[in-house]
Amino acid sequence: MKREYLVTTLAQDRVGLLSRVAMVFSRRGINIERLTLAESAMKGIASISMVIHTDGRTARQIVKQIEKQVEVLQAFAAERPGINQHMEKDLQMVTY
């Protein structure tokens, strides 16, 4: 059963990173519903948060594929509960 997941990635801020991460979703035919990209507390490290609709198995596979990218330090997925609050917090961080 498809559910809403938040996939978050911490990676070195390099040219083309967002494109390569988005290709992982594109290859599987998964639409990114929401996307937030921001610099993390550590200089040179980007935080990419994406909301997707998929099943748990596919979400775990996507995280494994994203972590194979050279620049990626960590990736993880969280299921729907509390997801909107997390995205709102990310958006507030970006606007300030």
CATH number of 3-95: 3.30.70.260
8 pLDDT band (50/70/90 cuts)? very high
Which pLDDT belongs to residue 72?
94
Distance CA 55, CA 80 (A): 11
Are 69 and 25 in contact by the 8 Å Cβ rule? The answer is no
8 Å CB contact between 6 and 77: yes
Distance in angstroms (rounded) separating the CA atoms of residues 39 and 61: 25
pTM metric for this prediction:
0.79
For the chain, the domains span 3-95
